[in-house]
Chain A
Amino acid sequence: MNVVVFGATSAIAQAASHFWAARGDRLLLVARNADNLNAVANDLRARYDVDIATHQADLADVAGVPDLVHSVFESMSQVDRVLIAYGTLPDQEACEIIPADAWPHLTTNFVSPVILVGELSRRMASHGGCIGVITSVAGERGRRSNYVYGSAKAGLMTFLQGMRHRLHGTKLHICDIRPGFIATPMTQHLKQGLLFAKPAKVAPRLVQAMDRGKSVVYLPGFWRWIMWVIRAMPTYIMHRTKL
């Protein structure tokens, strides 16, 4: 199978790439830091003896996305799986003081993947496959601790939902991947409690959900129930928490 990963240096994406490489899939990795990208690709080559191609690109460059997708399809004529993993976590408090600080984050977490998924779906519709997009449980309900981030992910989730509606009955699946807390560089500054999972532990579930063309998958699975509670929580209780 041919797999393309956007944001391939993300810890979650790396763990998924190990899984794909181990089963012999061909990978094209796209990321913005060339040194880190090379380190990831060499590691996969040395461990699994597989074909790994790399492409350096800054996904915040929204205008460049169509050309990027074009060159991806030049180097890989057929694509079966795409994982979109890049993202940034804004400093919520800083965005409250200087609201414009949110802008680059909204671009990376919402505008860019919207255009990317749009471009990809045009090219992948006929052959089919699966586009997996990492969103977040933070998109399911606005909470004081991270609603700037959450709102970008919520927008993306709604976009994916609509896209899935449109593609219903075709061979192209859109998988909304919603992690809870994963121990990665993005969450390094948080106190790591029991709810934190390791990327390697959740990667098999991610890959499997994409293989099966699932619509929504939680990483790890128990977040489905946690989020059910959080969504159902009456506002007057919610507002008393610091969540």
Chain B
Amino acid sequence: MNWESWGRYPRLSQTAKALYWQSEAPHLLAEGTYLPVGLGRSYGDVCLSDSGTVMTTKFMNRVIAFDHRSGHIRAEAGIALSDLLKVTLPHGWFLPVTPGTKYVTLGGAVANDVHGKNHHTAGTFGRHVTELVLERSDGRRIVASATNDEPWFRATIGGLGLTGLIVEVSLRLKRVQGPFVSQELIRFRSLDDFSKLTESSDRDWEYTVAWVDAARRSRGLGRGIFIRGNHASKQGKPDIPGPRINIPVQGPEWLLNPWSIRCFNNLYYHRPLKSGLQHFDPFFYPLDVLGHWNRLYGRRGFVQYQCAIDDLDLVGRILAYCAKHKRYSFLSVLKKFGNQPAAGTLSFPMPGYTLTLDLPADPNTLRVLDQLDQWVLDAGGRIYPAKDARMSRDTFKRCFPQWRDMQPFMDPRISSAFWQRVSGEKP
């Protein structure tokens, strides 16, 4: 089996194995260190091993129990959210929190403590998890929840897979009337306008996020489209479509160049906006129609940069700096996080703004990002490990000074390329 991260950068050699059953013991299947992984939707190296074994859990994907009345579901950790929705949505239950793609596993959603467009109302994914079953490499099983073995629970949520293999996840779902969302799209011309929109929307709108045109040099810097939505009461078929188009091979590197990215962003900004009822799938997962779109970046791969900072001016400075160096992000997202307390020890979200940029993985990009790291650190911000492939050891430790609290919970047989990079520990 081949294994790569979503950004396809860095490329590391590793052995990939699949777990099919809970009764299989991963520590007996691998020699040396291993890393439990899901669908490899993390952009960087949290889902990679450097010359060890990655154990994909995507075939360990069975539902264990689903209570239609209370909306509680217990499932094996490898089930994809797309698959989970097939089971729950026909009964009127939706994910309490969902990332921008439905092709992630429950285990992956827990281990990165993912967030969605409703962070300001619902917090992170981990806040809705009621119980985890963890399997350690000595064969021990730990059943952890907010009331039982709580330190293990906190360490495992957002724990980047390092505390053991998550075998089961229990989740509290969210009641919805139907598969539709009523959405409004509003064009804004500056970050100030964005700020006003988000302040006035976050109370009445469950989902808010903005797309920003990150390919403007000065005029129009910080312009974008604000997206807000609420679940609608309209009934309908809860279809969960697969990708409509698949990118079968990696594209040529010239395809996504500064010029084509600027064109795309310009067109996207000026596209006609239609508010109204929208099926949940394109609302939450607009990119899922294009299977393997990550191949469009070609051989070099790409990096995603997601930071959290409580300073909108800095967002503007970051955009301007990238533009100055012709590092135009193909797809850029801005959102204001809420104040919900973090569910896990290493959870990423914190009060403030979060900006996400996609950039081709080349030396220029890496240089620019090193500068951004500096600003983010000075502002007391953070960088999201789920997206990262390059931050320095020092940067990580300053972003997450609580990283030491993880030590007692780390599984001695488990490690990731990310962890080796940022902690400096070789297994």
Binding site for B on A (CB under 8 A): 11, 33, 35-36, 39-40, 42-43, 46-47, 185, 188, 192
A residues less than 8 Å from B20 (CB atoms): 11, 185
**Interface hub of B18, B62, B86, B87 (most chain A Cβ within 10 A):** B62
The answer to whether B17 touches A42 (Cβ under 8 A) is: no
The answer to whether A33 touches B23 (Cβ under 8 A) is: yes
A40 to B1 alpha-carbon distance, docked (Å): 24
The answer to whether B63 touches A47 (Cβ under 8 A) is: yes
A35 to B167 alpha-carbon distance, docked (Å): 14
The answer to whether A42 touches B21 (Cβ under 8 A) is: no
The answer to whether A46 touches B22 (Cβ under 8 A) is: no
A47 to B75 alpha-carbon distance, docked (Å): 11
A residues less than 8 Å from B65 (CB atoms): 42, 46
A40 to B20 alpha-carbon distance, docked (Å): 11
Known: A35-B21, A43-B63. 18 other contacts (CB 8 A): A11-B59, A33-B21, A35-B23, A36-B23, A39-B22, A39-B62, A39-B64, A39-B76, A40-B62, A42-B62, A42-B65, A46-B64, A46-B87, A47-B86, A47-B87, A185-B18, A188-B1, A192-B1
A11 to B63 alpha-carbon distance, docked (Å): 16
A residues less than 8 Å from B23 (CB atoms): 33, 35-36
Q: What's the least CB distance linking B248 to chain A, in Å?
A: 11
Q: What's the least CB distance linking B250 to chain A, in Å?
A: 16
The residue that B21 contacts in the complex, of A36, A46, A47, A188, with Cβ under 8 A, is A36
The reply to whether the CB of B66 lies closer than 8 angstroms to some CB of chain A is yes
**Interface hub of A11, A33, A43 (most chain B Cβ within 10 A):** A43
Can you list the 5 inter-chain pairs with the closest CB atoms, starting with the nearest? Answer: A43-B62, A46-B63, A46-B66, A35-B23, A43-B63
The answer to whether A188 touches B87 (Cβ under 8 A) is: no
The answer to whether B87 touches A39 (Cβ under 8 A) is: no
Q: Mark B33-71, 1 if CB is under 8 A from A, else 0.
A: 000000000000000000000000001001111100000
B residues less than 8 Å from A42 (CB atoms): 62-65
Q: What's the least CB distance linking B81 to chain A, in Å?
A: 15
B residues less than 8 Å from A36 (CB atoms): 21, 23
A33 to B22 alpha-carbon distance, docked (Å): 12
A-B contact pairs, 21 of them (CB 8 A): A11-B20, A11-B59, A33-B21, A35-B22, A35-B23, A36-B21, A36-B23, A39-B22, A39-B64, A42-B62, A42-B64, A43-B64, A46-B64, A46-B66, A47-B63, A47-B86, A185-B18, A185-B20, A188-B1, A188-B17, A188-B18
A residues less than 8 Å from B86 (CB atoms): 47
B residues less than 8 Å from A188 (CB atoms): 1, 17-18
Q: What's the least CB distance linking B22 to chain A, in Å?
A: 7
B residues less than 8 Å from A39 (CB atoms): 21-22, 62, 64, 76
